[in-house]
Amino acid sequence: MPTVRNSSAIVGAARKAVHLARSPAGRRPRPLPVWSLLMAAGIVAASGCGQVERGGRGFARAVPGASVQVTAREYGFTPARIDLARAGRLRFVVRNVGSLPHDLRLRDERGRELGGTPAFERGSRTVTFVLRPGRYTYYCSIGDHEQLGMRGVLVVRTR
């Protein structure tokens, strides 16, 4: 994973390569402006920042009939977004790695509760839904966990 130190080395190497490169006519090309090298270094550094962390991050894709692994912790779910390719059955395998009890509940765009797991501490629970195209919210219904950010989005595509 790129770090700030590694990114600096990348920028230095890129700058050196630009200065040492020669065009077919044997002339040196104009060096790139420093800002463009810094922007490239920022992109490289950011590409390694897709780690999952507290508060719920990440993205998952699934097809009907699949299982999706969801990790619950204070106060977020990972992944925080799931895309289901088309309508069908989706099984959630929910693993609580937090120190508090959590559950996973699902509601549709109209706010209707569709079910979910019971509250549990540590360990895993599973729940299966048969879903139509649309946008759903999965969340923890315990206390103010949802308001603290413990929710995610499930999008079911039409195709």
Q: Kindly state whether residues 70 and 92 are assigned to the same domain.
A: yes
pTM above 0.85, yes or no: no
Residue 135 falls inside a structural domain: yes
Which residues have a Cβ under 8 Å from the Cβ of 131 and sit 6 or more positions away? 84, 87, 88, 89, 90, 154, 156
> How many other β-carbons are positioned within 10 Å of the β-carbon of residue 133?
12
The 10s digit of each residue's pLDDT in 97-127 is 999 999 999 999 999 999 999 999 999 999 9
Shared-domain flag, residues 124 and 72: yes
Model pLDDT, residue 106: 98
> In this structure, what token pair is assigned to residue 130?
């048969």
Phi, psi of 15 (to 5 degrees): -60, -45
The answer on 123 and 95 residing in a single domain is yes
The residue written with tokens 């069908």 in the block is: 88
Q: How many domains does the chain have?
A: 2
pLDDT at 96 over 50: yes
Q: What residue numbers bound the domain in which 69 lies? A: 59-156
